[in-house]
Copies of this chain bind each other. A is one copy, B any other.
Amino acid sequence: GYMWYTQSAQSAAMCEAAPQKEYAKEMETYVLQLQKQIVSAVEKEDGGKFFIDRWEREDGKGYGISCVLQDSVVFEKGGVNITVMDGKMSPAGAKQMRMRHSELPGKGDDPIKFKAVGLSLVIHPRNPHAPTIHCNYRYFEIPSDKPGEPHTWWFGGGVDLTPIYLYEEDAVHFHKGIKNALDKHSPEYYPMFKKDCDEYFYLKHRNEARGVGGIFFDDLNMKSPQCKSANKEELFQMVKSCGDAFVDGYIPIVAKRKKMPFTEEQKEWQRLRRGRYVEFNLVWDRGTKFGFMTPGARIESILMSLPLHADWKYMHKPEPGTPEAKLLDCVQNPRDWVK
Protein backbone atom coordinates (compact mmCIF):
# COMPACT_ATOMS: atom_id res chain seq x y z
CA GLY A 1 0.00 0.00 0.00
CA TYR A 2 1.02 3.64 -0.50
CA MET A 3 -0.50 7.04 -0.11
CA TRP A 4 0.06 10.28 -1.92
CA TYR A 5 -0.42 13.80 -0.69
CA THR A 6 -0.95 17.07 -2.42
CA GLN A 7 1.72 19.54 -1.54
CA SER A 8 -0.48 21.74 0.69
CA ALA A 9 -1.24 18.72 2.86
CA GLN A 10 2.40 18.22 3.76
CA SER A 11 3.19 19.13 7.32
CA ALA A 12 6.68 20.06 8.46
CA ALA A 13 6.96 16.76 10.30
CA MET A 14 6.10 14.76 7.20
CA CYS A 15 8.85 16.51 5.29
CA GLU A 16 11.53 15.04 7.47
CA ALA A 17 13.09 11.75 6.55
CA ALA A 18 13.88 9.11 9.11
CA PRO A 19 17.21 10.51 10.33
CA GLN A 20 19.02 7.18 10.50
CA LYS A 21 18.64 6.09 6.89
CA GLU A 22 21.65 6.83 4.72
CA TYR A 23 20.20 7.28 1.25
CA ALA A 24 23.55 7.33 -0.55
CA LYS A 25 24.00 3.75 0.71
CA GLU A 26 20.37 2.79 -0.05
CA MET A 27 20.68 4.14 -3.56
CA GLU A 28 23.98 2.32 -4.08
CA THR A 29 22.38 -1.00 -3.14
CA TYR A 30 19.45 -0.24 -5.42
CA VAL A 31 21.42 0.74 -8.53
CA LEU A 32 23.74 -2.27 -8.16
CA GLN A 33 20.69 -4.54 -8.22
CA LEU A 34 19.02 -2.58 -11.06
CA GLN A 35 22.19 -2.73 -13.16
CA LYS A 36 22.27 -6.54 -12.82
CA GLN A 37 18.60 -6.81 -13.73
CA ILE A 38 18.92 -4.64 -16.84
CA VAL A 39 22.19 -6.20 -18.02
CA SER A 40 20.70 -9.67 -17.73
CA ALA A 41 17.51 -8.70 -19.61
CA VAL A 42 19.50 -7.04 -22.41
CA GLU A 43 21.86 -10.04 -22.68
CA LYS A 44 18.89 -12.37 -22.92
CA GLU A 45 17.45 -10.32 -25.79
CA ASP A 46 20.80 -10.01 -27.54
CA GLY A 47 22.37 -13.41 -27.07
CA GLY A 48 25.78 -11.78 -26.40
CA LYS A 49 27.55 -10.87 -23.18
CA PHE A 50 28.36 -7.46 -21.70
CA PHE A 51 31.98 -6.59 -21.05
CA ILE A 52 32.15 -5.61 -17.37
CA ASP A 53 34.63 -2.96 -16.34
CA ARG A 54 34.94 -2.05 -12.67
CA TRP A 55 37.06 1.02 -12.04
CA GLU A 56 38.14 3.09 -9.05
CA ARG A 57 38.89 6.79 -8.97
CA GLU A 58 42.57 7.47 -8.57
CA ASP A 59 41.96 9.47 -5.38
CA GLY A 60 40.01 6.55 -3.87
CA LYS A 61 36.90 8.75 -3.68
CA GLY A 62 34.59 6.56 -5.66
CA TYR A 63 34.14 3.71 -8.10
CA GLY A 64 32.04 2.69 -11.01
CA ILE A 65 30.95 -0.36 -12.91
CA SER A 66 30.64 0.07 -16.66
CA CYS A 67 28.88 -2.74 -18.51
CA VAL A 68 29.41 -2.44 -22.24
CA LEU A 69 27.97 -4.31 -25.21
CA GLN A 70 29.60 -3.32 -28.48
CA ASP A 71 29.01 -4.45 -32.06
CA SER A 72 26.88 -7.34 -30.79
CA VAL A 73 23.98 -9.30 -32.27
CA VAL A 74 20.88 -7.21 -31.58
CA PHE A 75 22.60 -4.16 -30.13
CA GLU A 76 25.18 -2.00 -31.88
CA LYS A 77 26.28 -0.33 -28.66
CA GLY A 78 24.97 -0.36 -25.14
CA GLY A 79 26.38 0.95 -21.90
CA VAL A 80 24.87 0.42 -18.47
CA ASN A 81 26.94 2.31 -15.88
CA ILE A 82 26.75 2.84 -12.21
CA THR A 83 28.86 5.46 -10.44
CA VAL A 84 29.37 5.96 -6.72
CA MET A 85 31.24 9.13 -5.88
CA ASP A 86 32.22 10.67 -2.59
CA GLY A 87 34.38 13.60 -3.55
CA LYS A 88 34.74 17.30 -4.22
CA MET A 89 33.38 19.35 -7.06
CA SER A 90 35.82 21.30 -9.22
CA PRO A 91 35.65 25.13 -8.93
CA ALA A 92 33.79 25.30 -12.27
CA GLY A 93 31.38 22.53 -11.22
CA ALA A 94 30.77 24.21 -7.85
CA LYS A 95 30.08 27.54 -9.54
CA GLN A 96 27.56 25.99 -11.96
CA MET A 97 25.92 24.07 -9.10
CA ARG A 98 25.60 27.23 -6.97
CA MET A 99 23.82 29.02 -9.81
CA ARG A 100 20.98 26.50 -9.49
CA HIS A 101 21.23 25.97 -5.70
CA SER A 102 21.60 29.10 -3.58
CA GLU A 103 21.32 26.99 -0.40
CA LEU A 104 24.74 25.36 -0.92
CA PRO A 105 27.43 26.03 1.72
CA GLY A 106 30.31 28.37 0.81
CA LYS A 107 30.21 30.77 -2.15
CA GLY A 108 31.47 31.43 -5.69
CA ASP A 109 33.67 28.57 -6.77
CA ASP A 110 34.68 27.28 -3.29
CA PRO A 111 34.97 23.51 -3.58
CA ILE A 112 31.90 21.55 -2.41
CA LYS A 113 32.02 18.04 -0.93
CA PHE A 114 29.35 15.80 -2.34
CA LYS A 115 28.12 12.26 -2.71
CA ALA A 116 26.59 11.09 -5.95
CA VAL A 117 25.20 7.67 -6.71
CA GLY A 118 23.53 6.86 -9.99
CA LEU A 119 22.79 4.51 -12.82
CA SER A 120 22.88 5.70 -16.39
CA LEU A 121 22.40 3.81 -19.60
CA VAL A 122 22.10 4.31 -23.32
CA ILE A 123 21.33 1.44 -25.68
CA HIS A 124 21.55 1.69 -29.47
CA PRO A 125 20.06 -1.32 -31.30
CA ARG A 126 21.39 -2.44 -34.66
CA ASN A 127 17.99 -2.67 -36.41
CA PRO A 128 16.79 0.81 -37.48
CA HIS A 129 13.21 -0.16 -36.63
CA ALA A 130 14.17 -0.55 -32.96
CA PRO A 131 14.55 2.66 -30.93
CA THR A 132 17.50 3.92 -28.89
CA ILE A 133 16.84 4.36 -25.19
CA HIS A 134 18.42 6.41 -22.44
CA CYS A 135 17.76 6.19 -18.73
CA ASN A 136 19.41 7.70 -15.68
CA TYR A 137 18.49 7.77 -12.00
CA ARG A 138 20.70 9.44 -9.41
CA TYR A 139 20.86 10.57 -5.83
CA PHE A 140 22.99 13.56 -4.92
CA GLU A 141 23.83 14.99 -1.52
CA ILE A 142 25.99 17.57 0.18
CA PRO A 143 26.79 15.88 3.50
CA SER A 144 26.74 17.70 6.83
CA ASP A 145 28.57 16.68 10.03
CA LYS A 146 25.60 14.53 11.11
CA PRO A 147 25.34 11.16 9.31
CA GLY A 148 21.90 10.62 7.76
CA GLU A 149 21.15 14.35 7.87
CA PRO A 150 22.77 15.86 4.78
CA HIS A 151 23.03 19.63 4.32
CA THR A 152 20.99 19.20 1.16
CA TRP A 153 20.07 16.37 -1.20
CA TRP A 154 18.02 15.59 -4.28
CA PHE A 155 17.01 12.90 -6.74
CA GLY A 156 17.24 13.31 -10.48
CA GLY A 157 16.63 11.17 -13.48
CA GLY A 158 14.42 10.12 -16.30
CA VAL A 159 14.04 7.87 -19.26
CA ASP A 160 13.44 8.77 -22.90
CA LEU A 161 12.95 6.85 -26.14
CA THR A 162 14.48 7.81 -29.51
CA PRO A 163 13.01 5.97 -32.51
CA ILE A 164 14.70 6.07 -35.91
CA TYR A 165 11.37 5.10 -37.51
CA LEU A 166 8.15 5.94 -35.71
CA TYR A 167 5.91 3.12 -34.48
CA GLU A 168 3.16 4.85 -32.55
CA GLU A 169 2.26 1.68 -30.65
CA ASP A 170 5.86 1.51 -29.32
CA ALA A 171 5.72 5.09 -28.07
CA VAL A 172 2.37 4.37 -26.40
CA HIS A 173 3.65 1.17 -24.77
CA PHE A 174 6.71 2.98 -23.42
CA HIS A 175 4.79 5.97 -22.07
CA LYS A 176 2.08 3.76 -20.53
CA GLY A 177 4.71 1.79 -18.62
CA ILE A 178 6.32 4.82 -17.09
CA LYS A 179 2.97 6.46 -16.37
CA ASN A 180 1.79 3.35 -14.49
CA ALA A 181 4.96 3.34 -12.42
CA LEU A 182 4.52 7.00 -11.45
CA ASP A 183 0.74 6.89 -10.91
CA LYS A 184 1.35 4.55 -7.96
CA HIS A 185 2.96 7.52 -6.21
CA SER A 186 0.94 10.44 -7.53
CA PRO A 187 -1.12 10.99 -10.70
CA GLU A 188 0.50 14.41 -10.88
CA TYR A 189 3.99 13.09 -11.53
CA TYR A 190 3.66 11.73 -15.05
CA PRO A 191 2.21 14.85 -16.74
CA MET A 192 4.78 17.11 -15.04
CA PHE A 193 7.77 14.92 -15.77
CA LYS A 194 6.59 14.22 -19.32
CA LYS A 195 6.47 17.95 -20.02
CA ASP A 196 9.88 18.51 -18.44
CA CYS A 197 11.26 15.72 -20.59
CA ASP A 198 9.95 17.31 -23.80
CA GLU A 199 11.65 20.55 -22.74
CA TYR A 200 14.94 19.02 -21.63
CA PHE A 201 15.61 16.56 -24.46
CA TYR A 202 15.28 19.25 -27.09
CA LEU A 203 17.82 20.30 -29.73
CA LYS A 204 17.27 24.07 -29.74
CA HIS A 205 19.59 24.56 -32.72
CA ARG A 206 17.44 22.16 -34.80
CA ASN A 207 14.00 22.90 -33.31
CA GLU A 208 13.64 19.16 -32.80
CA ALA A 209 12.94 16.92 -29.84
CA ARG A 210 15.46 14.09 -29.42
CA GLY A 211 12.73 11.46 -29.80
CA VAL A 212 9.27 10.66 -28.46
CA GLY A 213 10.18 11.80 -24.94
CA GLY A 214 9.48 10.05 -21.68
CA ILE A 215 10.07 11.59 -18.26
CA PHE A 216 12.65 13.90 -16.71
CA PHE A 217 13.11 15.37 -13.23
CA ASP A 218 15.99 17.03 -11.41
CA ASP A 219 16.75 18.63 -8.04
CA LEU A 220 13.79 16.76 -6.61
CA ASN A 221 13.46 16.93 -2.83
CA MET A 222 10.75 17.84 -0.32
CA LYS A 223 11.17 21.56 -1.13
CA SER A 224 10.58 21.11 -4.88
CA PRO A 225 7.25 22.33 -6.24
CA GLN A 226 7.10 19.07 -8.22
CA CYS A 227 7.32 16.93 -5.08
CA LYS A 228 4.03 15.15 -4.34
CA SER A 229 5.48 12.63 -1.89
CA ALA A 230 5.16 13.06 1.85
CA ASN A 231 8.75 12.23 2.78
CA LYS A 232 12.15 11.26 1.45
CA GLU A 233 11.39 7.55 1.70
CA GLU A 234 8.34 7.92 -0.57
CA LEU A 235 10.38 9.89 -3.05
CA PHE A 236 13.02 7.17 -3.07
CA GLN A 237 10.28 4.58 -3.65
CA MET A 238 9.02 6.63 -6.59
CA VAL A 239 12.49 6.66 -8.16
CA LYS A 240 12.75 2.90 -7.62
CA SER A 241 9.38 2.34 -9.29
CA CYS A 242 10.67 4.16 -12.37
CA GLY A 243 13.86 2.09 -12.42
CA ASP A 244 11.95 -1.15 -11.92
CA ALA A 245 9.70 -0.32 -14.89
CA PHE A 246 12.63 0.00 -17.30
CA VAL A 247 12.92 -3.57 -18.57
CA ASP A 248 9.21 -4.08 -19.33
CA GLY A 249 8.98 -0.65 -20.93
CA TYR A 250 11.80 -1.24 -23.41
CA ILE A 251 12.71 -4.88 -24.02
CA PRO A 252 9.33 -5.94 -25.55
CA ILE A 253 9.74 -3.16 -28.14
CA VAL A 254 13.16 -4.47 -29.16
CA ALA A 255 11.83 -8.04 -29.23
CA LYS A 256 9.15 -6.93 -31.69
CA ARG A 257 11.49 -4.96 -33.98
CA LYS A 258 14.80 -6.77 -33.94
CA LYS A 259 14.06 -9.17 -36.78
CA MET A 260 12.37 -6.73 -39.16
CA PRO A 261 14.17 -6.55 -42.51
CA PHE A 262 15.94 -3.29 -43.34
CA THR A 263 17.87 -1.71 -46.21
CA GLU A 264 21.22 0.12 -46.44
CA GLU A 265 19.23 3.37 -46.96
CA GLN A 266 17.45 2.75 -43.65
CA LYS A 267 20.80 2.17 -41.95
CA GLU A 268 21.99 5.48 -43.35
CA TRP A 269 18.93 7.26 -41.93
CA GLN A 270 19.75 5.60 -38.60
CA ARG A 271 23.31 7.01 -38.72
CA LEU A 272 21.98 10.47 -39.55
CA ARG A 273 19.58 10.34 -36.59
CA ARG A 274 22.45 9.13 -34.41
CA GLY A 275 24.30 12.26 -35.47
CA ARG A 276 21.46 14.20 -33.83
CA TYR A 277 21.92 12.08 -30.71
CA VAL A 278 25.60 13.07 -30.63
CA GLU A 279 24.61 16.72 -31.08
CA PHE A 280 22.26 16.60 -28.11
CA ASN A 281 24.71 14.87 -25.80
CA LEU A 282 27.70 17.04 -26.64
CA VAL A 283 25.93 20.39 -26.98
CA TRP A 284 22.99 20.39 -24.56
CA ASP A 285 23.21 17.59 -22.00
CA ARG A 286 23.87 18.95 -18.49
CA GLY A 287 25.18 15.61 -17.21
CA THR A 288 27.84 15.44 -19.93
CA LYS A 289 28.92 19.03 -19.21
CA PHE A 290 29.06 18.37 -15.46
CA GLY A 291 31.14 15.26 -16.16
CA PHE A 292 33.60 17.23 -18.30
CA MET A 293 34.09 19.67 -15.41
CA THR A 294 34.47 17.05 -12.66
CA PRO A 295 38.15 16.48 -11.87
CA GLY A 296 39.13 12.84 -12.36
CA ALA A 297 35.87 12.09 -14.18
CA ARG A 298 36.07 8.99 -16.34
CA ILE A 299 35.63 10.29 -19.86
CA GLU A 300 35.10 6.84 -21.40
CA SER A 301 32.09 6.27 -19.15
CA ILE A 302 30.66 9.71 -19.86
CA LEU A 303 30.96 9.28 -23.62
CA MET A 304 29.75 5.67 -23.66
CA SER A 305 26.36 7.11 -24.63
CA LEU A 306 27.66 8.02 -28.10
CA PRO A 307 26.67 5.64 -30.90
CA LEU A 308 29.11 3.34 -32.70
CA HIS A 309 28.38 5.14 -36.00
CA ALA A 310 27.01 8.60 -36.82
CA ASP A 311 26.71 10.52 -40.08
CA TRP A 312 26.26 14.15 -41.06
CA LYS A 313 25.05 15.17 -44.52
CA TYR A 314 24.63 18.73 -45.69
CA MET A 315 20.96 19.74 -46.02
CA HIS A 316 19.61 16.23 -45.77
CA LYS A 317 15.81 16.35 -46.02
CA PRO A 318 13.56 13.30 -46.36
CA GLU A 319 10.96 13.31 -49.15
CA PRO A 320 7.45 14.30 -47.98
CA GLY A 321 5.24 11.32 -47.16
CA THR A 322 8.12 8.93 -46.41
CA PRO A 323 8.57 7.14 -43.08
CA GLU A 324 11.65 9.35 -42.55
CA ALA A 325 9.54 12.49 -42.96
CA LYS A 326 6.97 11.03 -40.55
CA LEU A 327 9.64 10.66 -37.84
CA LEU A 328 10.86 14.19 -38.45
CA ASP A 329 7.34 15.58 -38.14
CA CYS A 330 6.94 13.70 -34.88
CA VAL A 331 10.10 15.15 -33.28
CA GLN A 332 9.17 18.61 -34.51
CA ASN A 333 5.71 18.36 -32.91
CA PRO A 334 5.85 16.55 -29.54
CA ARG A 335 2.64 14.67 -28.75
CA ASP A 336 0.78 13.29 -25.77
CA TRP A 337 1.08 9.52 -25.97
CA VAL A 338 -1.20 8.57 -23.10
CA LYS A 339 -4.07 10.42 -21.44
Which A residues are closer than 8 A to B by beta carbons?
Answer: 51, 53, 66, 68, 70, 77, 79, 204-206, 271, 275, 278-279, 282-283, 292, 299-300, 302-304, 306-315
Contacts and interface: CB of A to CB of B under 8 A. Distances in A.
B303 A308 contact: no
A296 to B, nearest CB: 12
Given A51-B314, A309-B310, 6 more contacts: A278-B278, A278-B282, A279-B282, A282-B283, A308-B313, A310-B311
Given A79-B314, A313-B70, A314-B70, A292 B204 contact: yes
B315 A300 contact: yes
Given A204-B292, A275-B306, A278-B282, A53 B313 contact: no
A297 to B, nearest CB: 8
Contacts of A282: 278-279, 282-283
Nearest to A275: B306
The A interface is mostly helix, strand or loop, or mixed, namely mixed
Contacts of A53: 315
Contact of A314 (B68, B205, B309): B68
B204 A309 contact: no
Contacts of A77: 312, 314
Contacts of A308: 311-313
A304 B313 CA distance: 8
A302 to B, nearest CB: 8
A311 B77 CA distance: 11
